[in-house]
Structure 1
Amino acid sequence: MIQPASGAVSSTPRQLALPRLLRLAPWVLAFCLPLVVDANASGNFAYCLVWAFSAVGLAAMWGQGGILSFGQTAFFGLSGYTYGIVTLNLGDGWISSWSGLIIGLLVSAGVAVLLGYMIFYGKIKGVFIGIVTLSVTLVLETFMAQTAGPQWVVGEARLNGYNGMTGMPPLTLPWFGGPVTLENIRFYYLVLVLLALVYALMRRLLDSPFGLALVAIRENPQRAEMLGIDIRRHQLLIFVLGCTLGGLSGALYTIWGSYITPSAMGLTSAAMPVIWVATAGRKSIGAAIIGTAVLVWLSQWLAVYGSQYALILMGAVLLFVVLAAPEGLLPSASNWARWVFTRRPPKSRSFETQKRSES
């Protein structure tokens, strides 16, 4: 039976990055946060959580399946623009906003199927997947930046080129006293509930035989194929799922700010999810959520003094992680805490890694 590699996403006690009780602590703190901050601050924290969906998708692709993609922001932008086009044409109302969200996810999933099919069934592997996905992202960003003319109109929605689309309505819910607008605290709790649901479903999926097959493909594709695993189908499925989560980030971002611009798909934006996931720990979706929320919050705080400071911080953090904690900060901190509190040694390296070091 195939066993997950050390540090892979799993719910078994030996492989949990944090004790079971401590895993619940971030969710409890996140739930109680609006009780101690005002509505505007809750909306700002919702912005930090919005990006976590994209990070979860990348952690599943990269950490579990070994697929490094720079395309999360491409699907982020696709879903955001789709939401804007749908809602600006359908007008206000809960049917319009929820239709925009659902159609945005469907567009992201459909494009991911086409791109993933060309990548995996075209036998593109390794670093070339990152090159292809980054190229697609930059092509989309360049194209959307050139749509400033009056001819670039979809119904009532103008694309507006580099200035982007604005004026999209927020999410609303039908209620007895009239529609309820999901803004600030309400939007924060919506994002938090969706994130908890995605986290639970992704853990269940990655702990299933499908997730174990992804680990086998990541560790040794040739051996996995000899065992009868359809590696291309598994890679395509996790790629589509991860990209769709990137699209969910884009739709929620557009709902949060009522705008979307081509810069959301630029080179800097494309690199950010990779930095967040690498820094937090690519083999743990829980670490990816926490790390992304913290790093996005730090970036926004530093951006008040200048956007260059946030980029310098991200570069410095990534350099430190690559040199000192290649598995990510949170898994490394977990191993250290395990040694301090239980006197257990950190997780041992794999047999193949030890064999290479001894030779």
Structure 2
Amino acid sequence: MKIKMNTENMIATLLFLFLIVYPLMTSAYKVLNLASFLSMVFISLSVALIWGYAGIFSSGQSLFFGIGGYFYGILMLNVTQPSFTLVAFILGVVVAGLVSWLLGYIIFYGGVNDMFVGLITLCVTLAIETFMAQTAGPEWKIGNVSLGGYNGINSIPTISIGSFSLVGNNLYYFILILLLVVYISLRLLVVSRWGYALIAIRENRERSKMFGYNVPFIQTMVFALGGALASLSGILYACWGGYMTPSTMSLSAATLPVVLVAAGGRKNLTAGMIFTLIYLWFAQYLSANGNQYALVILGLLLLVVILLLPQGMLVALFNWLDSLKLRPKARASYEINPVKEVLHEK
């Protein structure tokens, strides 16, 4: 595959180069903060994949975030063997992926689509969050681990490779390497034939069915992949902070990734990743200075996007910068839409 050196790819390359050298330029505290921001990017990528490319509007990615984090924490606190952390890490992603596959199977093979998917996933997420908040009593235990109600579970161990525990810069680079692998894999996926099938379904489900695509199957599989990505975010968050609470599945937690992806550009993985990092840094900056206006500002930005920049702020910026570079040639587009070519080929 030929790589185009357009604005998106150049900015993504510069971003990862900066992230690689960042620990060499700053304090351990700031590196630890950025590690938490990077762990949250995976859930934004999951939203961009299933909503931006497959047209599945889900408000339940925080559910799989919580499932992954809780599963990993409960399993590790019962096993208490540092050498088992990688196994627990993989199992957490697999279990959350299976749960999202099952939920997706019920939804899509049941003929549910569009806004109703968002309503169902949001209701399920809030139901699980409400249930987990009621598990404060001593009777709510899994093995030796008390669920803790709204306080959640604490002292979750970080990932270890053999006797080597991933903390500080080691955890940061582990998360960064995972992010780079996932990001490149998704970029390759969305320009593959399977990725084009996702876009065809997003644009016109009924016509895609007429051309022989098994639409419910494809929707279920991409929904499961999105759930696995969100759980990866939750497990890394649990490893970073050492705790997991029901608030990770709250209403604000469920809607925030959707808003971030929409504001940055839901049909572009790079835009979703970058806008998530910018917002999290900005929100922490405001909190450190005694202000809590990050969500208000994000809401205003979303209004601007809806009214003036429906393709997203960063996607509009990418296109504008490329239009300067390519004039008088046609403007580059970051919203890949090869539906006509795919359907024609079929």
- Report the TM range for the smaller structure's normalisation: over 0.9
Query: How high is the TM-score relative to the length of structure 1?
Result: 0.89
The equivalences for 1:277-356 within 5 A come to 277-306=261-290, 308-343=292-327, 344-346=329-331
Query: Which of 238, 242, 248 pairs up with 2:232?
Result: 248
How far off its partner does 1:22 sit? 3.8
Contact 2:6 2:322 (8 Å CA) reproduced: no
Query: Which of 154, 166, 169 pairs up with 2:154?
Result: 166
Q: Deviations over 1:276-306 (max 9, x none)?
A: 1111111111211111111111112222345
Unaligned 5+ runs, structure 2: 338-346
Work out the CA distance in 1 between the residues paired with 2:21 and 2:263. Answer: 26
Contact 1:11 1:203 (8 Å CA) reproduced: no
Q: Matched residue of 1:165: which SS?
A: coil
Q: What is the percent sequence identity of the aligned residues?
A: 40
Contact 1:121 1:232 (8 Å CA) reproduced: yes
How far off its partner does 1:345 sit? 4.9
How far off its partner does 1:20 sit? 4.1
How far off its partner does 1:317 sit? 1.9
Work out the CA distance in 2 between the residues paired with 1:307 and 1:163. Answer: 25
How far off its partner does 1:192 sit? 0.5
Work out the CA distance in 2 between the residues paired with 1:307 and 1:271. Answer: 21
Unaligned 5+ runs, structure 1: 1-9, 351-359
Work out the CA distance in 2 between the residues paired with 1:50 and 1:38. Answer: 19
Cα 1:148–1:11 change in 2 (3 A) is farther
Q: Matched residue of 1:70: which SS?
A: coil
Q: Matched residue of 1:166: which SS?
A: coil
Query: Which of 253, 264, 275 pairs up with 1:269?
Result: 253
| Residue aligning to 1:155 | 143
Cα 1:287–1:90 change in 2 (3 A) is same
Query: How high is the TM-score relative to the length of structure 2?
Result: 0.92
How far off its partner does 1:42 sit? 0.7
Contact 2:8 2:270 (8 Å CA) reproduced: no
Work out the CA distance in 1 between the residues paired with 2:288 and 2:9. Answer: 37
Contact 2:59 2:118 (8 Å CA) reproduced: yes
How far off its partner does 1:346 sit? 3.6
The equivalences for 1:34-45 within 5 A come to 34-45=23-34
Work out the CA distance in 2 between the residues paired with 1:164 and 1:171. Answer: 19
Q: Deviations over 1:25-80 (max 9, x none)?
A: 11111111111011121111011110111111111101110001111100000111
How far off its partner does 1:342 sit? 2.9
Q: Matched residue of 2:292: which SS?
A: helix
Work out the CA distance in 2 between the residues paired with 1:239 and 1:295. Answer: 25
Work out the CA distance in 2 between the residues paired with 1:146 and 1:252. Answer: 25
Give the AA of the match of 1:122. Answer: G
Q: Deviations over 1:130-178 (max 9, x none)?
A: 000101110110000000000001111110000111011111122xxxx
Contact 2:8 2:318 (8 Å CA) reproduced: no
Work out the CA distance in 2 between the residues paired with 1:256 and 1:76. Answer: 14
| Residue aligning to 1:70 | 59
Q: Deviations over 1:58-105 (max 9, x none)?
A: 11101110001111100000111111110110114131x223212211
| Residue aligning to 1:134 | 122
Query: Which of 45, 60, 73 pairs up with 2:49?
Result: 60
Contact 2:152 2:243 (8 Å CA) reproduced: yes
Cα 1:19–1:276 change in 2 (3 A) is closer
User: What number of residue pairs does the alignment pair up?
Assistant: 335
| Residue aligning to 1:106 | 94
Work out the CA distance in 2 between the residues paired with 1:238 and 1:265. Answer: 21
Give structure 1 regions of 4+ aligned residues with deviation exceeding 4 angstroms.
347-350
Contact 1:84 1:157 (8 Å CA) reproduced: no
Give the AA of the match of 2:142. Answer: V
Contact 1:77 1:247 (8 Å CA) reproduced: yes
Contact 2:323 2:332 (8 Å CA) reproduced: no
Q: Matched residue of 1:49: which SS?
A: helix
Cα 1:165–1:17 change in 2 (3 A) is farther
Contact 2:247 2:253 (8 Å CA) reproduced: yes
1:80 lines up with 2:38 in the alignment = no
| Residue aligning to 1:200 | 184
Work out the CA distance in 2 between the residues paired with 1:186 and 1:29. Answer: 17
How far off its partner does 1:19 sit? 5.6
